[in-house]
Amino acid sequence: MAFTMAPPEGMQNFVSHRVARTPETPEPILAGVEDEVSAAASHYTQPHEVEEFVKQTGVDSLAISIGTSHGAFKFKVKPGEEPPPLRFDILEEVEQRLPGFPIVLHGASTVMPEYVDLINRFGGRMEKAVGISEEQLRRAARSAVCKINIDSDGRLAMTAVLQKIFAENPGEFDPRKYLGPARDELIKMVRYKNEQVLMSAGKA
């Protein structure tokens, strides 16, 4: 697929109304690791570029970079230290420049501590996993952000249940005995996020 212009730094993904799918450029600007694709550094969206980018590409929604990061190890923080806050000032300026335009956040999993603890308790090694706080996601959901990606939370929910089952029943080989509970936990997590964090329940 050809684009009329290269995406400026901080605007790595977009949805085009010209095709019935979501085209995504490589992820050179949102830090983290996902599906074996990694980036060491993240570059914030430059608000002064968004109007021209939307005009040139004709996109229907825009993913911006305000400090989120892919994967379960989003930030390097010391024990007792809080992860850096998201740059809501950038989001607010983008909203002012593109009134009513749908904004997307990638890499926004909270990396739910209960799943990280469960994985570690039953043999996993995710001691330094940390994500975006739920309160920051609630704030984002009240803005022009219309889509928040939380894939890592889904992976953690299923992995935590599988880790526990295999640790307690190492001889289990019936997929119905472990995939069923893992799926149920995933559904529970998604319902919680929709109702209590992303405020998207009943808005389909």
Q: Does residue 200 belong to any structural domain of this protein? A: no
The answer to whether residue 175 is domain-embedded is: no
**Confidence class for position 40, pLDDT limits 50, 70, 90:** very low
- Provide the pairing of β-strand 37-39 with 32-34: antiparallel
d(C-alpha 192, C-alpha 186), whole Å: 10
Per-residue pLDDT at 42: 55
What CA–CA distance (Å, rounded) separates 54 from 40? 27
Q: Measured between alpha carbons, how far is 195 from 129 in angstroms, rounded to an integer? A: 24
204 belongs to a structural domain: no
User: Is residue 129 assigned to a domain?
Assistant: yes
Residue 164 belongs to a domain: no
The answer to whether residue 52 sits within a structural domain is: yes
Residue 29's domain comprises 13-150
Confidence of residue 150 (pLDDT cuts 50, 70, 90): very high
- Is there a domain that residue 56 lies in? yes
pLDDT tens sequence across 160-174 = 999 999 999 999 999
pTM: 0.79
SS3 69: coil
pLDDT 10s digits, 54-109: 999 999 999 999 999 999 988 887 777 788 899 999 999 999 999 999 999 999 99
Give the model's pLDDT for residue 66: 95
User: Measured in whole angstroms, how far is the alpha carbon of residue 82 from the centre of its chain?
Assistant: 19
Domain contains 75: yes
Q: 162 or 201, which is more confident?
A: 162
Name the one residue in this structure whose structure tokens are 């959901």.
141
Residue-wise burial string across 26-41, b where 16 or more C-beta atoms lie within 10 A, e elsewhere: ebebbbbbbeeeebee
d(CA 100, CA 144): 6
How many structural domains comprise the chain? Answer: 1
